[in-house]
Amino acid sequence: MPLSKFVFVTGGVASSLGKGIISASLGKLLQSRGLRVTIQKLDPYINIDPGTLNPYEHGECFVTEDGAETDLDLGHYERFLNVPTSQANNVTTGRVYQTVIERERKGDYLGKTVQVIPHITDEIKRRIKLLGETGNYDIVITEIGGTVGDIESLPYVEAVRQLKYELGANNSIVIHLTLIPYLKASGELKTKPTQNSVKMLLESGVQPDILACRTEYPLNDDIKRKIALFCNVTPESVIEALDAETIYDVPMLMKKEQLDKVVLKKLNIENYPETDLTKWEEFLYKLKNPISRTKIGLIGKYVELKDAYKSIAEAIIHAGVANQCKAEVAWIHSEDIEEMTEEEMEQTLGGLNGILVAPGFGSRGIEGKIKTIKFAREHHIPFLGICLGMQCAVIEFARHVLGWKDAHSTEFNPSSAYPVIDFMEGQSAEIKKGGTMRLGAYTCKIMEGSKAMQVYQQPIISERHRHRYEFNNDFLPDFEQHGMIATGINPEKSLVEIIEIPEHPWFVGVQFHPEYKSTVANPHPLFVGFIKAALTVKKERTKNDVKTKEDEA
Ligand code: GLN
């Protein structure tokens, strides 16, 4: 019998209504009452994990401490709750089937016909209960990906139906997130799609306990009563989920609607303390009342889909707040830079206070990234390179400072005479793509007196990784003699984790992904330092009369 109580979150009517943010907001409210909460995402696709997915499909792949490649919603959970997630927090249909099929091959089913019900649903239920059985959580929130009615979601809804029954009254509830569209022509909010969506859930045997209704306009009592009547819930269980200015407003909106109180009542949890969201409110206040501004260029190849860089964009927001400033992001496509003249480069990049070159895979846009980094280095613009961004900084330095014209990463040119970025030990071109990179948390030792030490303020750190290539240590002496130094090293394998150019006002490249660890409660020191540099170096640049287009305007 699992120890935790369960909150299942399903979605209806349309996708992209923000189940992840609603789940994270509810989690935050319950956590702020002293309850121990974790959130889990079930994804109905057949990929084993999103690691092999193009970011254009589902946005960024979020990496956990234990090296799981997961859905980007886990990033929201961590940013809101400030508690790490793990492999157990993300389950896909692929993983469920893989386990069942492996068991079948071993003969574990003793000659039985292996079927969706009960074998697949049993495996889904087992994975849902895993976190609840650890004893670490009072409440497990389980978000079910997709939309009710999708063929792929059916086994999950069936598992929820069975679990609700097995767990018994007051031990689990279902929150169904729907949409109340607004018809401009008649000036009306329409409830029919919600009624239909609930009907569909009922056909699968699941009665939702709470309806969270996404809407552009406030829901009046009449509409709430109508929804309640048609969907067999009490009016207090109809929660208005109004469009928000920022995702960080949603916990406050849910508090106003008393979502957490209704949940606790239905789960029969009593004697809980009041919510304490003081820190969260302070963050929101600073977010909405910045005292300065700065402009950061984010150079990547998936910039059309902002979700592809979700954690980076959020880390910039957190770091902006920590510096009491609004850090605006200029999204710049690395391929666009490739064709630009000097003058166009100046126009696009010259007005930026900081340049961040994003992680990535494959050769598209690489030369644009390298060109951007040259600009940042030569114009003394604060620079942060993440993973591929750091690797490109190394290639740029090799080509333009060390004069090795042919320098490259073997990911893009396997026959380069100067393979300054190369395969790591244990990696090769033949290796299977899924789940085989250097993944998850590794330690790094930081050099005294470096920018990295300035921001982290401690000699040993741990950061998450997701890469196959690394700095080629054969060339390190050449780099260090000419002004690019390794200021962070993995102690076990001597891998270069951080590079810096001490001559530059703020030039840092990291092989790891700091963005995954930035949360509202703990903005990441590296991003905080980068934004601080963007704010201060801007002043120095103006002082030294390095004019930008913006200065001239
Ligand atoms: N493609 C590079 C590698 O595999 C960088 C990966 C990344 O930026 N996450 O090493």
- Which residue would you say has higher pLDDT here, 291 or 425? 291
Tens-digit pLDDT profile for residues 301-352: 999 999 999 999 999 999 999 999 999 999 999 999 999 999 999 999 999 9
Give the pLDDT mean for 167-195.
Answer: 95
Identify which of 438, 442, 466 to mutate to test ligand 1's pocket (most ligand atoms within 8 A of the CB). Answer: 466
444 counts as catalytic = no
pLDDT of residue 158: 97
Query: Does residue 294 surpass a pLDDT of 60?
Result: yes
Q: Is the Cα torsion angle 470, 476, 480, 482 positive or negative in sign?
A: negative
Residue by residue, DSSP assigns 322-357 as HTTEEEEEEEEEHHHHHT--HHHHHHHHTT-SEEEE
Residue with CA closest to ligand 1 atom 6:
467
Q: What is the pTM of this model?
A: 0.94
- Which residue would you say has higher pLDDT here, 543 or 81? 81
318 counts as catalytic = no
Tens-digit pLDDT profile for residues 375-424: 999 999 999 999 999 999 999 999 999 999 999 999 999 999 999 999 87
DSSP H or E stretch at residue 509: strand 507-510
Identify which of 390, 391, 412, 464 to mutate to test ligand 1's pocket (most ligand atoms within 8 A of the CB). Answer: 391
Query: Does residue 459 surpass a pLDDT of 60?
Result: yes
pLDDT of residue 431: 76
Give 199's pLDDT tier (boundaries 50, 70, 90).
very high
Residue with CA closest to ligand 1 atom 8:
359
Give the pLDDT mean for 14-22.
Answer: 93
pLDDT of residue 550: 44
Give 370's pLDDT tier (boundaries 50, 70, 90).
very high
Distance between Cα 411 and ligand 1 center (Å): 9
Asked whether the beta carbons of 133 and 167 are under 8 A apart, the reply is: no
DSSP tally for the chain: helices H, then strands E: 20, 23
pLDDT of residue 551: 45
Give 546's pLDDT tier (boundaries 50, 70, 90).
very low
pLDDT of residue 541: 63
Q: Is the Cα torsion angle 312, 315, 320, 323 positive or negative in sign?
A: negative
Q: What CA–CA distance (Å, rounded) separates 56 from 48?
A: 18
Structure token pair of residue 276: 């304490």
Give 538's pLDDT tier (boundaries 50, 70, 90).
low
pLDDT of residue 553: 42
Identify which of 394, 464, 468, 497 to mutate to test ligand 1's pocket (most ligand atoms within 8 A of the CB). Answer: 468
pLDDT of residue 424: 79
Give 433's pLDDT tier (boundaries 50, 70, 90).
confident
pLDDT of residue 271: 84
Distance between Cα 361 and ligand 1 center (Å): 5
Query: Does residue 204 surpass a pLDDT of 60?
Result: yes
Question: Which residues does a 6 A CB cutoff place in the pocket of ligand 1?
Answer: 359-361, 387-388, 391, 411, 466-469
Task: Exactly one of 61, 213, 231, 387 is catalytic; name it.
Answer: 387
Distances (CA, A) of 497 to 261, 420, 454, 472: 46, 14, 16, 11
Task: Exactly one of 379, 504, 513, 524 is catalytic; name it.
Answer: 513
Distance between Cα 150 and ligand 1 center (Å): 34
Distance between Cα 300 and ligand 1 center (Å): 13
Query: Does residue 182 surpass a pLDDT of 60?
Result: yes
Q: Give φ, ψ of 62 to 5 degrees.
A: -95, 135
Give the pLDDT mean for 143-147.
Answer: 94
Give 121's pLDDT tier (boundaries 50, 70, 90).
very high
pLDDT of residue 542: 53
Give the pLDDT mean for 248-253.
Answer: 98
387 counts as catalytic = yes
Give 192's pLDDT tier (boundaries 50, 70, 90).
very high
pLDDT of residue 540: 63
Distance between Cα 94 and ligand 1 center (Å): 24
What amino acid is encoded at 117 in this protein?
I
| Three-state secondary structure call for residue 153 | helix
| Three-state secondary structure call for residue 402 | coil
The pLDDT mean for the chain works out to 94
Query: Does residue 547 surpass a pLDDT of 70?
Result: no
Distance between Cα 362 and ligand 1 center (Å): 8
CB contact burial 499-526 (16+ within 10 A = b; e otherwise): bbbeebebbbbbbbbbbbbbbbeebbbb
Query: Does residue 533 surpass a pLDDT of 80?
Result: yes
Lowest mean pLDDT among 74-83, 91-100, 266-275, 498-507: 266-275
Lowest mean pLDDT among 220-224, 367-371, 427-431: 427-431
Structure token pair of residue 8: 């299942």
